[in-house]
Structures are given as C-alpha cells and as structure tokens.
Amino acid sequence: MKSSEPDKNCKLCERLYSFRKNNRIRFPDWFNKPVPSFGSQESNILIVGLAPGLQGANKTGRPFTGDYAGKILYETLLKNNLASGFFDEEGKDNLKLHNCRITNAVKCVPPQNKPLGSEINNCNNFLIKEIKMLKNLKIIISLGRVAHLGILKVFKLQNSKYTFAHGKIHKIDNIVLINSYHCSKYNIFTKRLTVKNFNKVFKNINSYL
C-alpha cells in the first residue's frame, strides 16, 4: 500500500517540529506525530481540513478526533451514510468511513492552531502525493479557505479564478471541488456556519459521483 505520509520525526518545519517535540515531553501519552489520513485509498471522496488540533488529532492520532470540529464532522458523515458505527472523541470506537477519506492541509499541530504560510507550502507536497495516490478520486471537499488554497496549489490553479465561498462548487478536470466553511467551534458558535448548512454540503454529494 502506498503512503503519502511524512516521517514521524519530520523536520521540514522547524517551528512545528519544536512544538511537537515539546508536546511529547508535556503529554507523553499523546500521539504527537504528523497525523495520517483516515479512510480507504479506494475512496471517491477526499475531505481536506486545516491541521490537527492540539487536544484533538494530535492527541488521538486520527483526523478530527478529540475536538468539537470532529464531533460535527463525524455526526454529519454518519447522518449521510458516509460513515457507520459510533464515534468516540477519544477514538475508542468502531467508526468506519464509507467511500470517503479525511486528511489535513498541514499534517502537524501548529501553535494556536495557526500554521504559517511556509508550513502550509511545505506540507503541500504531502497533499500532492495524497491526491495522486487516490486513483478513484472524484470529489474533494475543502473545509476552510486554507484547505481550498492548498488544493488549488496542488493543481497549479489561481485563486482569482477559483474563489472560495461556502457551498461553492468548482470543476477541476474530472474532479468536483466543493467548498465549505470549517466546522470549527468558533464558526459554529458565531453562526458563520450552522450544522444545517454544513449538512447541506454532504446531503447530495452522491449526485456528483
């Protein structure tokens, strides 16, 4: 099986490496490594988030697991038959994704959940490998503008021609790119994104397959 993942001791980004190393000392029982993608490589759908959260994926080792955003995302996937089983915030569950895979634009947890532009660029090589590896890929869902820009960079496309907006749909060769606001706690609590509007992104997704 091919891998698009960075080495567990990846040093491409000095700041992220240092932060990760310090977290290994502070939280020795946590994952504290670049977080690998979750889901089958045979999937038609790829969901791209921003980066692991400190007490979320950086702790559990699974994308969107352990924080508020994950609760919203996995409940939405379960509701739309893109996952089955039950979801546990610690990852102690039997959750299984169906025809979708989840990754992040940045593989390592950044301080204050804010990756630098250079870190996003460094990690883009792994997103390139991820997308090339998925031979059945038909739909990419970008959760947030950073993920959207990372995807455009993979395909060498200009943002001015593929602007980000919630619910907006772009066609890139044979791939459909769907934009969504990130399902972060901040976006939900400020009502920039509602659970209902987030669900709409996934509700009719099979019509694009």
Q: What is the pLDDT of residues 184-205, one digit of tens each?
A: 999 999 999 999 999 999 998 9
Q: What is the pTM of this model?
A: 0.96
**What is the CATH classification number for the domain harbouring 123?**
3.40.470.10
- Whether residue 6 is contained in a domain is answered as no
In a domain, 53, yes or no: yes
pLDDT in tens, 41-83: 999 999 999 999 999 999 999 999 999 999 999 999 999 999 9
With 80 as the cut, is the pLDDT of residue 179 above it?
yes
Residue 17 lies in a domain: no
Averaged pLDDT of the chain:
96
Q: How many domains does the chain have?
A: 1
Q: How far is CA 198 from CA 12, 21, 93, 129, 160, in A?
A: 33, 35, 23, 27, 24
Spatial neighbors of 186 by CB under 8 A, at least 6 apart, are: 192
Q: Band the pLDDT of 2: cuts 50, 70, 90.
A: low
Distance from C-alpha of 130 to C-alpha of 81, rounded to nearest angstrom: 23
List C-alpha distances in Å: 90 to 23, 67, 93, 177. Answer: 18, 9, 8, 30
pLDDT at 3 over 80: no
